Amino acid sequence: MVKSTTLRLKTSGNCDIVDITGQVAREVDGSGIANGTVTVFAVGSTAGIATIEHESGLLADLREMWDRLIPASVGYNHNRAWGDGNGHSHLRASLQGPSLTVPFTSGKMHLGTWQQIVYVDFDNRPRSREVVIQIMGE
Amino acid sequence: MVKSTTLRLKTSGNCDIVDITGQVAREVDGSGIANGTVTVFAVGSTAGIATIEHESGLLADLREMWDRLIPASVGYNHNRAWGDGNGHSHLRASLQGPSLTVPFTSGKMHLGTWQQIVYVDFDNRPRSREVVIQIMGE
Amino acid sequence: MVKSTTLRLKTSGNCDIVDITGQVAREVDGSGIANGTVTVFAVGSTAGIATIEHESGLLADLREMWDRLIPASVGYNHNRAWGDGNGHSHLRASLQGPSLTVPFTSGKMHLGTWQQIVYVDFDNRPRSREVVIQIMGE
C-alpha cells in the first residue's frame, strides 16, 4: 500500500529550519499502514531534509556551520550567470540532500527522543514550499 | 510490485557530473507502477548520487566546493597505503552518499523544475559504472 | 511484505566506525523477500549511516576529515546551554544523515566490492545504540 500527501510550508529563507516531525507522524499514524517506511522529500533545488535535535542553541550552530562550510560570500559562477545570489543555497541543498527515509512499525516512526525531522530552507528569500510525504508498507 | 534495472555509465572522473534524470523518469514511466518510490543507487565507493540544478555555472561551483571541503592534496593515509591517490574520492563519496529515494505519483517523480538527479563520479580516472534504479509501489 | 529488526551496538564514541554490512546482508538473505530495498536507520541524533571502503587508512582519514570540517573545538551554543560538549557530534550526524536505502535483488544487496555499510558514532562517549533494519519488497 502507498499513501502520498503534500505538505505546504511558508519559509523565511537563509537557513530557516522548520520542525515537521509532528506532521509526518500524523500522516504515518493516519495512513492505515502499520509497518513500512515514510519518505520525506523536499521539492526544489535550494532546500533539504535533515534530522537534528530541535533545540535553539543547536539550530544556531547549524546555521553557523553552513556559513563556515559553504559561505554565501564566495564568488559563485551561478551568481555571475543568474544574478540571484543563491549559489551557496544550491550547493548546501545538494550536499544535505532532499530526501529522508524513516522506518516505522505499529504506526510509530523509529526516531530517537531528540531526533526531529526538519525542513531546511537554504534559499536567500521567503518561499512557498512543498514537501512530499510518501508512506509505503502493509 | 518491484522493478529493478541497472544503468551503465562511462565517466571521466574528477567530479564528472552526469544528469540521469531522463533515464530514471523513463524507468518510472515504463514500470507499470503508478505510485511509489524510486531508489537510485551508485554501486561503488568513489561515486555518489545528488540532486542539483544542472546548469554549467553551478556544476563548476560544485566541483570547486568539493576542492575546498575535501581537497585532493591532503596527505591521506589511504593514499600512503594503496598508492592510487584517490583518498579524497572515497571521502567525498561517503559524505555525499550513494543513495537517493524519490517519491512518484501517477508515474511522475515529485522533482522541482530545476532539481535534476545526477551521478557524481569522484574517482580520479575514467570508470565504467553501474547505477541501480529500483522502483517499488502499486 | 515488510520485515523489521533492531540491531543493538555498543560504541566507543568519538567517530567510532562499525561495519554492519554482514548483519544487514544476513537480515536481507533471511527475510524471505527476494527483491526490494533495505533501509538502515540510526536511532538518535549523534550518529549516522554511511558507506565507505572499510580499510584502516581510510577510516583514519574519515575521522580526520570530520575534525577538519566540523571541529569539536568551536564554541557551540549547544555546549554552552547543555554542558555535554557534543555540539559537533550533533552537527556531524545531521550532515551525514541517519538513513541509507540499498536495493537488492535475489536476496543480495547491490553494493560494490569495497563499499561497506557503516554505523558512525559521532558522540563523545560510549553509548548503547539501536539501528533499525527495515526490508520491503516481494
Name chain B contacts of C136, Cβ cutoff 8 Å: 136
B interface mutation test: which of A6, A37, A95, A129 has the most B CBs within 10 A? A95
Grid cell listed for A132: 512530499
Match 543513495 to its residue by C-alpha cell: B99
Match 555540539 to its residue by C-alpha cell: C87
Domain positions in chain B are 2-137
- Please give the model's pTM, rounded to 2 decimal places: 0.98
Does B70 sit within 8 Å of C60, measured CB to CB? no
Ranges of chain A whose pLDDT falls below 70: none
Across chain C, where does the E strand assignment appear?
2-11, 16-19, 36-42, 47-52, 99-105, 108-109, 116-121, 127-137
CA dist., res. B48 & res. B119, Å (int): 6
Does B98 sit within 8 Å of C115, measured CB to CB? yes
Q: Supply the pLDDT for residue A46.
A: 98
Does A95 sit within 8 Å of C77, measured CB to CB? no
Q: Supply the pLDDT for residue A59.
A: 98
CATH class, domain A12-137, is: mainly beta
Grid cell listed for C100: 541509507
Higher pLDDT, C120 or A83: C120
- For residue A87, the tally of other CB atoms under 10 A from its CB is 26
- Are the beta carbons of C91 and C57 closer than 8 angstroms? no
Q: Supply the pLDDT for residue B124.
A: 97
DSSP class of residue C112 equals -
What are the helix and strand counts (H, E) for chain B?
4, 8
Q: Supply the pLDDT for residue A127.
A: 97
DSSP alpha helix (H) spans, chain C: 21-29, 56-69, 77-82, 87-96
Q: Supply the pLDDT for residue B65.
A: 98
Name chain C contacts of A95, Cβ cutoff 8 Å: 95
**pLDDT tens-digit profile of C52-94?**
999 999 999 999 999 999 999 999 999 999 889 999 999 999 9
CA dist., res. C17 & res. C56, Å (int): 10
Q: Which fold is adopted by the domain B2-137?
A: Jelly Rolls (2.60.120)
Ranges of chain B whose pLDDT falls below 70: none
Does A65 sit within 8 Å of C90, measured CB to CB? no
Grid cell listed for C54: 572499510
Does A90 sit within 8 Å of B58, measured CB to CB? yes
Grid cell listed for B39: 531508489
User: If we measure between CA atoms, which residue out of B84, C81, B103 comes closest to residue A60?
Assistant: C81
Q: Supply the pLDDT for residue B46.
A: 98
First-last CA distance in chain A: 6
ipTM: 0.97
User: Which of C1, C41, C82 is nearest residue A110 as measured by Cβ atoms?
Assistant: C41
CA dist., res. C77 & res. A62, Å (int): 10
User: If we measure between CA atoms, which residue out of C52, C95, C41, C104 comes closest to residue C70?
Assistant: C95
Q: What is the DSSP string of B63-115?
A: HHHHHHHS-TTS--HHHHHH-SS-HHHHHHHHHH-SEEEEEEETTEE---TT-
